[in-house]
A and B are shown apart, each in its own frame.
Chain A
Amino acid sequence: MQRIFAADGLSLEAPESVLELESPNGSCDAEADPRRIAASIFEQQRVPVYRYLVSLGLRPAVASEMVQEAFLRLYRHLRSKGRSENLRGWVFRVAHNLAVNELKRTKAADAEPPETETDPGGDPEQALLRKERIHRMQTAIRELPRRQQECLHLRAEGLRYREIADVLGIGVSSVAESVQRAMETLARSCHE
């Protein structure tokens, strides 16, 4: 396991299995190699980014493509000696912008909800209740205003309010307000 410090507050464990990248000049300086950093952050953050893009309404195949594109841009950003603070927020912002452009282009904002895993084992009654609850929650979230949805999904991926504000280009107080309104709406819909 190779430890890479890619950004402030984001130390990454880079598994050797995936990051067997040949250094172009034979250097072993992992901190200076943008490829290793990009690949490492990809491993760490691709799932949250992918889930966020799917939750925005992108089809899974398109979302996967967008994730790769966002991380390739991260690599180019690092290669050109771009800022290395808050790379997670940087990737989310790029992915968000790519997704918004794609949705504008294809007008697929109202795409069908993403395919979700179902637990094959366990109590069938519990599984049915869970499925119903998930469906109700999905419906309630899709009825929220766009901005509230985005804030909610980014929050669910573990982003801080400050990071969400950076990704969406809005103020922290707007983020807090959007999340609060979204939670109030969801609470009401759960009690109906």
Chain B
Amino acid sequence: MSNFGRKCMPDGLLLRAVDQELTQRQAWLVKLHLDHCEPCRARMEEMRRITSQVGELQEGVLLPDDVRAFVARLELEAAGEQPELSRTQWFTLPRTLWQQLAWSGTLALLILVGVKIWTPHPHATVSIARPPQVAVAPPVAKQLVVNTRPAKPVRRAHRSVKKQALPAAVASEEAATPFFPLPFSDAALPLDQALVIRVELPRSALEWTGLPVEENRREERIQADLVLGADGLARAIRFIR
């Protein structure tokens, strides 16, 4: 016989035997052991006694007579019931052809509305890329009003120009660069009644905005749009390709 049969059994195993929670093999081994082990039999009997006392305690609780009340509530619930859909039933695919067409049409309409709403309007705003810092002093243009105020940080100028809508004339269909804020413009000045003027500049003016200029073409003339505020000061520039 193995040690399992000789040594006394742990309480957990005996308790599981009392509760009939053992496998068939375990139950058989426990039974074999109990046949020859008086202490284990006594411990198991004690467990049965306590279990019985706890059960006695539970059974002593006075019970309410609530069956009729429950049946009445159940009837009431059933009478006024709305068919409650389960988690998987709340959405059912359309079965008939007209239902499928209606679903498809609604879905297509929703998609179109969504696309319309989320597509950015081409004339609504003019996005102006932030140019790199320009170290070169600007040459004087023919029609450019020179700002004598000290230069402000480029970041502020960029923000100011971007926030305010420009006239429709600015947004022409010509191939042009985005508007670059001029490094010497004063961002603190308001941009009400902005004016866009077309000017001709030497190609070297591209350097204001950090764009590359070929050395042998520096003197060529190129066209540019200048954004002037009501105060006559230039705020931004773009180059026409």
Contact = CB atoms under 8 A, between A and B. Distances in A.
Interface of A: 18, 21, 24, 35, 38-39, 42-43, 46-47, 50-52, 54-55, 60-61, 64, 67-68, 71-72, 75-76, 79-82, 114-117, 133-134, 137-138, 141, 152-153, 155-157, 160-161, 176-177, 179-180, 183-184, 186-187, 190
B180 to A, nearest CB: 64
A51 B58 CA distance: 6
B12 to A, nearest CB: 5
A186 B71 contact: no
A16 to B, nearest CB: 13
Contact of B58 (A35, A72, A156, A177): A156
B50 A116 contact: no
B58 A153 contact: yes
Contacts of A114: 61-62
B56 A134 contact: yes
Contact of A68 (B16, B19, B66, B86): B66
Contact of A115 (B53, B61, B66, B81): B61
Nearest to B64: A64
Contact of A35 (B51, B53, B74): B74
B86 A137 contact: no
B84 A76 contact: yes
16 contacts: A21-B71, A39-B70, A42-B70, A46-B70, A50-B64, A51-B61, A68-B69, A79-B81, A80-B84, A115-B62, A116-B60, A117-B60, A138-B57, A155-B51, A180-B11, A180-B12
Interface string B73-93: 111011001001110010000
A35 B78 contact: yes
A141 B62 contact: no
B73 A24 contact: no
